[in-house]
Structure 1
Amino acid sequence: MGIKTVLSKSDFIKLLSGYSLGELVRFEPIITGTVQTNYYLETTTGRYILRYYECRSEASVKFEVNLLNYLRKRDYPCPAVYKDKHGRYVNPHNGKPYVLFEFIQGTHIENPSVEQQKQLIKLVAKLHKLTRNYRPSYRTARWNYGVNLCKELAYQKAKEINTINSWKKLKWLEDELEKLQLPKSLPKGICHCDFHFSNILFEDGEIQAILDFDDANYTYLLLDLAFLIEPFIPEFKWNSWQSFGKTDSILDFTSARETVAEYMKHRQLNNNEIRHLFDVYKLSVLIDCLWYFERGKAEDFYEKRKIDALNRFGRDSFFREIFDEN
């Protein structure tokens, strides 16, 4: 599933010849990836990860490399990137870019403990603090999540599918995007945007590294926090939503409240962020809608149920549920 391009022993010998990382001992495909192709490499000097980017421009990969170098200099737990003999971090192979990363020992945990989830929240907040004033090179090579990008991608999806349903769904999404209140003063920086625990390495119960900055982009710092919270009851999911009535009570802020409180131990939200977490959370739902645009009828589908419930509840009630200590 994770290997889209098969590389041979001779390919790796050729690629490694450009680095000062020893001779190839063995290589092994990593099958857990879903977008890019990854290989584990062992040489006479150490162990490495080669990532072959199937669908990223060189500029997009350079965005990622520059970000990782910036974070590493500030003691953020992420993989190092290796230069070749000419000082280049990104090189082409058969028309696609590749990068050699540090191999970090660790395991992925499917069901992290409460304390391990707190570790992640702390590192999310640290990422945002470190990149609050970061101005990335090659920023325009990434999908920087916001209203305009969401509209653009939704239009592309509707045009590609080109059914009455897809155009209706586009109209609904555009109308919902227009309702969002996102002040220009909302802090921006780098969001990872894919803090799934398959992208986190643990060793002895502690986080060793945050991996896979392939979706990272320059956007509202609140967006990562929005992706981490889920103000809905656990039973309401993409494969069970149809068992609920349209006006059933599906909101539950217990987990979201705890996540936000933990985050604010490490990065305090300003008043604008507190007031507009509602809008950024709705934006995160609308972004999710893009990845599953073909799923469901425009009149009633999973993400629409979420947005409808939030619209009925309202921004002020959302604020009180998460931030009002009384």
Structure 2
Amino acid sequence: MSVFTPLERPELETFLAPYGLGRLRDFQGIAAGSENSNFFVSLEQGEFVLTLVERGPSDDLPFFIELLDVLHDAGLPVPYALRTTDGEALRSLAEKPALLQPRLAGKHISQPNPHHCQEVGALLARIHLATRNSPLERESDRGLDWMLAEGPSLALKLPEAELPLLRDALAEIQDMKARIQALPRANLHADLFRDNVLFDGPHLAGVIDFYNACSGPMLYDLAIALNDWCSDEEGALDAARARALLGAYAALRPFSAAEAELWPTMLRVACVRFWLSRLIAAESFAGQEVLIHDPAEFQRRLAQRQQVDLPLPFAF
């Protein structure tokens, strides 16, 4: 189970009392998390999610709280930090920064179809449009500079057959860095995988886990989402799902010529980001009862993205 910091009922009851949401009925750890400790919490006045933030500087947490407030105020189906009766949103529990948020309805989709991808594309465009004019600034701690810094040492630990794939990808990131950073910007979810989206029947009911959110190129966020929602078991793109996601996104936010030109590169960059972070997690948590995603999944996807035959919609 991916709960790094276990909780006892008495300390949780003490923590929850200032919210004025009634007696604690039940709580349980959430196994799906890979970076933070998350708990479902049932109180007399409803269902909630408690997050203990395990990674990243606590100085960034006001950014996440403000971003989710902005998106919630824009009518988007996102969690947001609940306040205590004294107005506190960010608190401490078990010596970790802690946030309490409403539990959103719906469930994860493991086998998405074009309709699911269409919903995801539209939702991602709405997130970008809500923040494009005045993004809240936060540099990603898994951004281009991080990839270029961590990639070479991680490459030395790879099987020799995989080394050229990562080496060439890192060279492309170095060459294209300035052009990527000049693309149109907004606030990004930066981790919009299937396990971070909830569907209630056919309708997208919620987006969760904004703890990788940052400011940056909107196209990067789109590439991250598409690489997960539209890949088959071998890592190749499913054309029907990909066109559904891109078409729904472009209907709300048209692409620029620079974005169209850099699209294949950005798909590869998004693969590198998660290949590297999964390699680090696999090494750091080896032998522990923590959910570890397979790094080879993104090695396969990167190999498949060497040739991209899926242009952005206005180029069809």
Place the TM-score, normalised by the shorter chain, in its bin. 0.7 to 0.9
Aligned residue for 1:90?
A: 90
Query: Which residue number corresponds to residue 205 of structure 1?
Result: 202
What is the percent sequence identity of the aligned residues?
21
- In structure 1, which of residues 189, 192, 196 is the aligned counterpart of residue 193 of structure 2? 196
**Distance in 2, Cα, partners of 1:24 & 1:103:** 15
- 8 Å contact kept, 2:114–2:245: no
| Cα 1:18–1:126 shift into 2, 3 Å | same
Matched AA of 1:223: Y
Normalised TM-score (structure 1): 0.78
CA drift at 1:148: 1.9
Q: Which runs of 5+ in 2 are unaligned?
A: 283-298
Measured after TM superposition, the shift of residue 270 of structure 1 is 1.7
Secondary structure of the residue aligned to 1:17 is helix
Q: Aligned residue for 2:234? A: 236
Matched-pair contact (CA < 8 Å) for 2:220–2:270: yes
Q: Structure 1's 169 and 272: CA in aligned 2 closer, same or farther, altered over 3 A?
A: closer
What residue in structure 1 maps to residue 54 of structure 2?
54
Change in Cα spacing, 1:156 to 1:278, as seen in structure 2 (3 Å) is same
Which of 262, 267, 270 is the aligned partner of 2:256? 270
Partner of residue 285, structure 2: none
Query: What amino acid sits opposite 1:24 in the alignment?
Result: L
User: C-alpha separation between the residues in 2 aligned to 1:198 and 1:292?
Assistant: 16
Q: CA deviation at 1:117?
A: 2.1
Alignment length, in residue pairs?
298
| CA contact 1:193–1:215 (8 Å) conserved in 2 | yes
Please tell me the residue identity of whatever aligns with 1:220: P
Alpha-carbon shift at residue 33 of structure 1 (Å): 2.1
Cα deviation code 1:57-94 (max 9, x no counterpart): 32232221111111111101111321123322111223
- Residue aligning to 2:119: 119
Name 2:146's counterpart in structure 1.
Answer: 149
Q: Secondary structure of 1:291's partner?
A: helix
Structure-2-length-normalised TM-score: 0.80
C-alpha distance in 2, partners of 1:15/1:194? Answer: 29
Residue 176 in structure 1 maps to residue 162 in structure 2:
no
Alignment-derived partner of residue 286 in structure 1 = 272
CA distance in 1, matches of 2:272, 2:180: 18
The CA distance in 1 between the partners of 2:8 and 2:105, in whole Å, is 25
How far off is 1:195 after superposition?
2.0
Quote the offset at 1:53 in angstroms. Answer: 1.4
Structure with greater contact order relative to length (CA < 8 Å, sep ≥ 6) = 2
Where do 1:72-87 residues align within 5 Å?
72-87=72-87
Mark the CA change 1:173 to 1:272 in structure 2 (over 3 Å): closer, same or farther.
closer
**CA distance 1:111–1:171, shift in 2 (3 Å):** closer
List runs of 5+ in structure 1 lacking aligned partners: 238-249, 296-300
- 1:64-79 matches, cutoff 5 A: 64-79=64-79
After superposition, the CA RMSD in angstroms is 3.4
Aligned to 1:260: 246
Query: Tell me, what secondary structure is at the counterpart of 2:251?
Result: coil
What are the equivalent positions in structure 2 for 1:13-52 lying under 5 Å apart? Answer: 13-52=13-52
Q: Counterpart amino acid of 1:35?
A: E
CA distance in 2, matches of 1:303, 1:29: 31
2:77–2:206: 8 Å Cα contact kept in structure 1?
yes
1:100 aligned counterpart, secondary structure: strand
Could you say if the C-alpha distance between residues 303 and 77 of structure 1 is closer, same or farther in structure 2, counting changes exceeding 3 Å? closer
After superposition, the C-alpha distances for 1:144-202 in whole angstroms (9 at most, x for unaligned) are 63x3232123256469x699999988754542322326255311112212222222222
**2:99 aligned residue:** 99
Q: Is the 8 Å Cα contact of residues 125 and 263 (structure 1) preserved in structure 2?
A: yes
**1:29–1:274 distance in 2 versus 1, CA, 3 Å:** same
